[in-house]
Structure 1
Amino acid sequence: MHILYVSNLCSDEKFKEIFNNSSIKPQQQAQKFHSLLSKGLINQVESVYVMSSLPINRSTDNNVSLSGCKEIKNSTTYHYLKGIKYPVLKHLSIFIRGISNSFIWCFQNRKRDRLVICDVLNLTVSISAFLASKIFGVRSIAIVTDIPDYMQNYTLLKKNGIRSLFSNLYKRLCNYFMYRYDSYIILTEQMNNVVNPNRKPFVVIEGMVDLDMKDVPNILDNKYSEKIVIYAGALYEKYGVKKLIEAFLKLKMDDARLWLFGSGEMEDEIRSYEQLDNRVRYFGVVPNEDIVKKQLKATLLVNPRPSNEEFTKYSFPSKNMEYMVSGTPILTTPLQGMPKEYYDYVYLIEDESVEGLTQTLIDILSKPKEELHEKGLKTKEFVLEVKNNVVQATKVLKKLS
C-alpha cells in the first residue's frame, strides 16, 4: 500500500523552524494529529508521501524556506508545495502545484495499491488531490476533524465584508467536496450524520496518543510542590475558560495555582486576572513539548468545555488525549462526543456552574497525591493500549482500505 497524505503537515524539524520564526504561531494541534496518524500509517504500509501546504502566514519570517522542497524523515517523504505569503496568490499557486504533484504521484504509482488521504479542512491542497484521485480512480479518504459550518461560531469575533464573503465561500466549498469522498475518518459517531449523508464507509477515531509516550515516566516525586492546575488550548469564553478562571478564584487554597497556555480572544482578560490573583499565570503560546513537560509535573489537567453546546457532538478535543497520556489526572465535562468508555478514566464535571466547578476542584485537589497519581497512571495505561497512533492507524486501514 502506498499513501498520498494531504494536509499542512510537515516534519517535526520544519514545524519547529516555522514556529520559532512566526509571530502568529501555527496550530500545534493539527500538526500533532496528522503527525501521529502519518507515523502510525508508515508502520503498516510501504510508503507515505506527504503533500503539504506549509502552515505559514504573513507573520512568518523570511528565513523560513517557502520553496517546493522535499524531506525524507523516518521513511516518510514530505513534499512542501511552494507558496506565497499573500492569501489569494498563495491559494492559487498551491492549487496549481497540488494538481501537478497529485497527478504525478497517481501516475507513478499506477500499478500499485494506492490510497489518497486528505485533510478536508485544508481546502486548497485537498481539492487538488481529490480531483486527481477521481481522474485516476484512486480511493479517497477524508479526514474530518471539525464541521465547517461550526468552525466560525466558536468565538465572539465576527467577520464582515470581504472576510465574511471568503469565509462563506470556504464553508460551501468544504461541504461540496467533503460529501464526495469514498470514505471518512471522523472524531465522533454524531459527525457521521453531518459529513457522510450518503452512508459511505467510515471509521471513528476520537484522536490518538503517541506510542512513544510509554517511555516517558510520570513520577510522583517529580511533581511540583504546589497544586498546579493546567489548561492548555484555545482561550475562548465559549470553551469554558472564563468559567474555569472564575471558579478557581473562589478556591480557598493558598498552594493552588492555575496555569493557562494558548491564544485567543481572552488573552487580555486573562492578564487582568493575573493582576487580580497572583495564583493565576498566563504563559502564552509555547512549544507543545514544553507544555507536555509541565503536564507531567502538574497535579490536574482541566478541559472545561461546556457539554451542552451543540458543537461538542462533533468534536473530541485533542487536548484530552494529550492530557490522558501524560499520566496526570484529567478533569473534563461529559462532552456529547466522548464515548462512555472514557468515563472510568477521567474526573467529570457534573455541575458545570461556576460554583459547581469550584466544588469539584476542591474535592479533587483535596485528595491524597498518591490517589491522584494512581488515577493518572491508569488513564495513561488505557490510552496507550487502545488509542495509540499505531492502533488507530491500523483501525483506519482495516476498515477503509
Structure 2
Amino acid sequence: MEIIILSKSLKQLNVDLVNTSSQVFEIEFARSLSQYAKVSIISLQANIKEVNKDISLYPIENEKKMKYCIKKAIEKNGLFIDRERIMLLFGYDYFILNNLSWVCKQKEAYLISYTFDTHKAALEHKNRIRRFLIDTYFQLGIKKLNSIGGIILFNEEAYKSLHLSIPYLISKVGINNSEISPVVYKRNENKCFNIVYAGSLERYNGIDEMISAIKLLPLKNIFLNIYGDGTLKNEVIRKSADDPRIHYRGIIPRGELDIVIENADLLLNLRDTKHLVSKFAFPSKLIQYLSSGIPVLSTSVLKDSTFNNVAFVIDELSSEKISDMIFYIVENPDEQQKRSMLAKDYIRKNFLWDNVIKDVYDFLRKISQSS
C-alpha cells in the first residue's frame, strides 16, 4: 500500500524543531505508518524536499492550483506506483477536500480524512457575521466528507455529531517505547515547586482557572510556567504580572520543551470536558506528559478508571479544585513518585504506536480493497 498525507503545517520532519502537538502527531503518525506502507507527505508549508528515515516530505509549487501541483508532484517523484493507494488529509477543509477528490479520481486512490479537531472552537472569538461565514464554509466540508472513502476519529461522539454515513475508525494517539523516560521522578526538597503548562491558550483548556488556582494558594515556593499561544495570550501576560509566581514563557520548539518538562515537578493537562472540542480531540499532550515520568494533574479526559491512579485527576474544572489538588500534591512527594512510575507502565500497556498504528493500517487496507 502507498499513502500520501497532505499537511497544512509541516515545514520539515525533525520532530524536535516543531512547536505544536499536532505537528508532532503528524510526523510520528506518518513515521509509525511507514512500518506497513510507503508513506509520503505533501505539505503546503514545506519549501524543499526532505527524506527523514522512512518518510519523504514534498513541497507543492502553488497552493491556489493545488490539485494540479499535487498531481505534478506525484508524477515527478514517482509516487502512487502501488496498486493500493490512499490519500489522507487532516480535517474537512472544503477547498482541500475538493482538490484531493480530483487528484484521487485521476490517480484511482481512496481519500481518507483524519479529523481530530472541530472548526467551531475557532469561532468563539469571532463576530457574528464572521462566525456565520466560516461555519457555512466548513459545513460544506462536513457535507463533502460523506463522499470520500472513510474517516479516522478519536471519539464516537464526533462521528455522530458530523452526521456521517461513511466507514470510520476510532483511534488514539501513540508514542514510541524509546520515548518513555527511564528516569524515576524524585522531589528535590530544597528547590521551588515547578509547575508547567504547555499548549493552546484557550478558555476550554482551563487557562483562567489554572492562573486563579495559583493565586488562591498560600504557598510561596511554587511557580507556574506557561508556554504556548492562543487568543488568551495577552490576558495571560496581564494576569501573570499580578503574581511573581506566574510566568509566561512564549513558544519554544519541541526539543527545548522536553528539557523544560524534565525539570518540572508537575505538568498540567486541563480541559473543559463539556466543551465541543472534547468530542473531537484526544489529549496527545497528556500521553507525552505521562511518558516523561513527571507527575501530571489532569481533568478527567480519559474514560478509564486506571487513569485516576496514574495521574492526579480532578472531576471538575475549577480554580478551587485545581488549587486543592496542587496543595495535596505538594504535601505528598511520595505519592508523586508512585504515580509517575505507574504512569509509564500505563502508557506502555495502552498507547504504544506499534499497537495503535496496526488498527489504522488494517482500516486503510480494508478501504483500499473495497472495490
Do Structure 1 and Structure 2 share a fold, with TM-score over 0.5? yes
SS at 2:28 equivalent: helix
Per the alignment, residue 53 of structure 2 pairs with 74
Structure 1 246/393 Cα, relative in aligned 2: closer, same or farther at 3 Å? same
TM superposition shift of 1:379: 1.2
Structure 1 213/232 Cα, relative in aligned 2: closer, same or farther at 3 Å? same
Per the alignment, residue 128 of structure 1 pairs with 99
Structure 1 339/12 Cα, relative in aligned 2: closer, same or farther at 3 Å? same
Per the alignment, residue 115 of structure 1 pairs with 86
Q: What is the CA deviation profile of residues 323-351 of structure 1, one whole-angstrom value per residue up to 9, with x for unaligned ones?
A: 1221112211123x745553333221124
TM superposition shift of 1:145: 0.9
Equivalent positions of 1:215-226 (< 5 A) are 216-220=181-185, 225-226=191-192
The gaps in structure 1 that reach 5 residues or longer are 20-26, 56-65, 84-90
What's the TM-score once normalised by structure 1's chain length?
0.81
Residue 292 in 1 paired to residue 267 in 2?
no
Per the alignment, residue 152 of structure 1 pairs with 122
SS at 1:146 equivalent: coil
Residue 43 in 1 paired to residue 35 in 2?
yes
Q: Over the residues paired in the alignment, what is the CA RMSD in angstroms?
A: 2.9
In 2: Cα distance, 1:14 partner to 1:254 partner: 36
SS at 2:88 equivalent: strand
Letter matched to residue 354 of structure 2: V
**Residue 112 of structure 2, aligned match among 114, 137, 141:** 141
SS at 1:131 equivalent: helix
SS at 1:234 equivalent: coil
In 2: Cα distance, 1:344 partner to 1:395 partner: 27
**Residue 233 of structure 1, aligned match among 183, 186, 199:** 199
Per the alignment, residue 68 of structure 2 pairs with 96
CA contact (8 A) 1:48 1:76 kept: yes
Residue 30 in 1 paired to residue 22 in 2?
yes
TM superposition shift of 1:305: 1.7
In 2: Cα distance, 1:50 partner to 1:114 partner: 14
**Residue 281 of structure 1, aligned match among 247, 251, 255:** 247
Letter matched to residue 121 of structure 2: M
Identity %: 18
Letter matched to residue 117 of structure 1: L
Letter matched to residue 182 of structure 1: G
Equivalent positions of 1:338-357 (< 5 A) are 338-340=303-305, 342-357=307-322
Per the alignment, residue 182 of structure 1 pairs with 149
Equivalent positions of 1:253-268 (< 5 A) are 253-268=219-234
What's the TM-score once normalised by structure 2's chain length?
0.86
Per the alignment, residue 209 of structure 2 pairs with 243
Equivalent positions of 1:164-203 (< 5 A) are 167-168=134-135, 170-195=137-162, 197-198=164-165, 200-203=166-169
TM superposition shift of 1:206: 2.8
SS at 1:253 equivalent: coil
Letter matched to residue 366 of structure 1: E
In 2: Cα distance, 1:357 partner to 1:133 partner: 49
TM superposition shift of 1:2: 1.5
SS at 1:276 equivalent: coil
